[in-house]
Amino acid sequence: QKEVEQDPGPLSVPEGAIVSLNCTYSNSAFQYFMWYRQYSRKGPELLMYTYSSGNKEDGRFTAQVDKSSKYISLFIRDSQPSDSATYLCAMSEDNYQLIWGAGTKLIIKP
């Protein structure tokens, strides 16, 4: 079993829809949770991050962490074609090593 599970997709939704992206994990020691966005043939860029449980909102993006269920989510409201990318979750126990999900390819159809 992988430490972090993420459905690779692709996930295709119409423009304007609410998108839900998710990761599950098995290591209860993870405390730091991140979402990265990766455009085709580019490196990942940090989109959102949270520490421990709870929600965090930034514009159209909301990150949620449910440590009791070992489940994290990223919601995108009013999705735009420019949101089309691969979204990777990453987690860390400490200050250092990141454990990555496989990434979900998201396609927003105009």
Contacts with other proteins by CB under 8 A lie at 2, 4, 8, 32, 34, 41-46, 49, 88, 90, 92, 94-98, 100-103, 105
Q: Could you give phi then psi for residue 81, rounded to 5 degrees?
A: -55, -30
Map tokens 């940090």 to a residue: 46
CB of 98 to other proteins, least distance (A): 6
CB of 91 to other proteins, least distance (A): 8
If we measure between CA atoms, which residue out of 21, 34, 38 comes closest to residue 79? 21
Q: How many C-beta atoms surround the C-beta of residue 3 within 10 A?
A: 13
Nearer to other proteins, 103 or 108 (CB): 103
CB of 32 to other proteins, least distance (A): 4
